[in-house]
């Protein structure tokens, strides 16, 4: 037991240093020495929560409960993990158990009450859901919307201009907003552009051109500008592909979404946007984007963004060599590129809990062969053999995906056939990771570039998420 406790304490030290993976290694070693101590599992569960491995956290908390059914912390950890993957109906039972075991715990009581509200809200939203609801653009008279003389920004007419883009970048750096007319105008224009694109966009890199692939940016606006400073701003010869998760968590999500959309308007054939699992309504309600839209603009802006997110392509095929999508591969080896081409994403606005769209947005690679349960609690994990078969069957060199923090900003796995790129350095101000992006020229060789986070104004991540969410992060 002394050896196990020593390992646990080393795990605690690593946790304090925000070395979540190192902490997990020590807690795992402690469990290998003594697998009957529930606190080892709950400690590892907390580290897994920090790594967004909510499925693993739920499994650890469940094991702790199996060892000691009266261990309140285990119910607390499992409730947090289920809440963070939006499984409120599962979480509510554990919150109730925590309150029953620790009636004086005010935080747990507040979480229980918040969870009850979420369950009721989810039921209400499902009850009023309309398949063909009218667009939030109905009744929006942009033509007659007045931009007041007091507005100190560049005016936007029909087409995007470099002058407007430059002014937008500076406005956002200085904490200013766009006029609501221009916000509506940009979102609606891009919604039409991306709606008309294929579910899997197919593009080539011409001689003397370059395409840069970026992963999650998650509302880290100043780090996005650092990519452009280091690597060059978008142009007709320098295209960009942003591979989902532009929004949520970081507190400049509207600024990132509007800037990326403005570039899409400016260079519709050279600037690409894939949908991520955070370009969805339920994630936006939980992780801050809805709240940010309402705080900085209004509810209609969020609803229009939601409609535009639903119109985004799900994948981009680069030079017939690299399938780029946010999450990863599939539960069925029979799936091919043609199945992605045929997928009518407009028939299903939100990805749901199963199916091709969900898997494209949520799955992750694993080191073991075959397929396994998701560490997130949503989707699944796929091994190197799955990736090999998919690439060989579809004539691909590799799959490029995002969706996960990588400490060096990127990682090449599965014998070079699965590449993860993540572009939010010092993620959520709490993980000491680098960011990365990939440059691809006409020879289709992948050029990996790493960069560090830059300073930003003193606004914390999740500033616009609900208060109960903040207390769990």
Which domains, from first to last, does the chain contain? 2-128 (1.25.40.10), 162-472 (3.60.21.10)
Rounded CA gap, 297 and 219, in Å?
16
pLDDT band per the 50, 70, 90 thresholds, residue 120: confident
User: Average per-residue pLDDT in the chain?
Assistant: 94
**Residue 122 in this model has a pLDDT that exceeds 70:** yes
Asked whether the beta carbons of 466 and 287 are under 8 A apart, the reply is: no
Of the two residues 131 and 325, the one the predictor is more confident about is 325
Q: Which of 88, 179, 218, 278 is catalytic?
A: 278
Contacts for 358 with CB less than 8 Å, ≥ 6 apart: 351, 352, 378, 379
pLDDT at residue 134 in the model: 85
β-sheet bridge partners, residue 447 = 439
**Residue 209 in this model has a pLDDT that exceeds 80:** yes
pLDDT at residue 471 in the model: 56
**Sign of the alpha-carbon dihedral angle for 171, 172, 174, 179:** positive
Q: For 167-193, what is each residue's pLDDT tens digit?
A: 999 999 999 999 999 999 999 999 999
pTM assigned to the model: 0.92
Nearest residue to 309 via CA among 372, 242, 365: 242
Which secondary structure element, helix H or strand E, spans residue 335, and what is its range?
none
Residue 93 falls in the annotated catalytic set: no
**Residue 324 in this model has a pLDDT that exceeds 70:** yes
Over residues 366-375, mean pLDDT: 95
pLDDT band per the 50, 70, 90 thresholds, residue 397: very high
pLDDT at residue 473 in the model: 54
pLDDT at residue 111 in the model: 87
Exposed/middle/buried for 151, CB within 10 Å: 0-12, 13-18, 19+?
Answer: middle
pLDDT at residue 161 in the model: 97
Q: For 59-101, what is each residue's pLDDT tens digit?
A: 999 999 999 999 999 999 999 999 998 888 899 999 999 999 9
pLDDT at residue 392 in the model: 98
pLDDT band per the 50, 70, 90 thresholds, residue 269: very high
Q: Give me the percent of the chain exceeding a pLDDT of 70.
A: 97
3-state secondary structure of 101: helix
Rounded CA gap, 211 and 430, in Å?
30
Nearest residue to 39 via CA among 7, 14, 81: 7
């Amino acid at each position: 037991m002394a050896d196990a406790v020593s390992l646990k304490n080393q795990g605690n030290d690593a946790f304090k240093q925000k070395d979540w993976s190192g902490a997990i290694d020590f807690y795992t070693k402690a469990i290998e020495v003594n697998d009957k101590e529930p606190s080892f599992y709950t400690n590892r569960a907390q580290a897994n929560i920090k790594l967004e491995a909510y499925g693993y956290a739920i499994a650890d908390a469940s094991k702790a409960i199996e060892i000691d059914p009266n261990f309140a912390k285990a119910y607390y950890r499992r409730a947090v993990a289920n809440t963070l993957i939006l499984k409120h109906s599962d979480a509510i039972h554990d919150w109730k158990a925590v309150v029953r075991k620790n009636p004086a715990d005010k935080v747990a009581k507040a979480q229980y009450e918040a969870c009850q509200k979420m369950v009721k809200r989810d039921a209400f939203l499902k009850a009023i859901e309309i398949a063909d609801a009218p667009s939030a653009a109905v009744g929006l008279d942009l033509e007659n919307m007045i931009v007041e003389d007091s507005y100190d920004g560049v005016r936007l007419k029909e087409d995007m201009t470099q002058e407007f883009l430059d002014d937008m970048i500076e406005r956002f750096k200085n904490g200013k907003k766009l006029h609501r007319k221009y916000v509506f105008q940009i979102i609606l224009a891009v919604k039409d552009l991306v709606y008309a694109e294929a579910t899997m966009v197919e593009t080539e890199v011409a001689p003397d051109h370059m395409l840069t692939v970026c992963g999650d940016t998650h509302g880290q606006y100043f780090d996005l500008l650092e990519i452009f400073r280091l690597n060059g701003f978008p142009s007709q010869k320098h295209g960009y592909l942003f591979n989902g998760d532009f929004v949520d968590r970081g507190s400049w999500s509207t600024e990132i979404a509007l800037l990326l959309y403005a570039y899409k308007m400016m260079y519709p054939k050279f600037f690409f946007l894939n949908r991520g699992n955070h370009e969805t309504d339920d994630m936006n309600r939980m992780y801050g984007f809805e709240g940010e839209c309402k705080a900085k603009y209004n509810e209609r802006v969020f609803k229009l963004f939601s409609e535009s997110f639903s119109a985004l392509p799900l994948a981009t095929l680069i030079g017939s060599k690299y399938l780029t999508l946010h999450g990863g591969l599939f539960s069925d080896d029979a799936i091919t590129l043609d199945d992605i081409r045929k997928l009518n994403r407009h028939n299903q606005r939100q990805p749901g809990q199963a199916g091709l769209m969900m898997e494209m947005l949520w799955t992750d690679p694993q080191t073991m062969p075959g397929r396994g349960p998701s560490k997130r609690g949503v989707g699944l994990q796929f091994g190197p053999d799955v990736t090999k078969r998919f690439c060989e069957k579809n004539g691909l060199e590799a799959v490029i995906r995002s969706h996960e923090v990588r400490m060096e900003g990127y990682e090449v796995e599965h014998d070079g056939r699965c590449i993860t790129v993540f572009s939010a350095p010092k993620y959520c101000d709490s993980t000491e990771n680098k960011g990365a992006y990939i440059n691809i020229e006409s020879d289709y060789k992948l050029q990996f570039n790493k960069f560090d986070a830059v300073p930003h104004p003193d606004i914390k991540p999740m500033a616009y998420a609900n208060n109960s969410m903040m207390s769990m992060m």
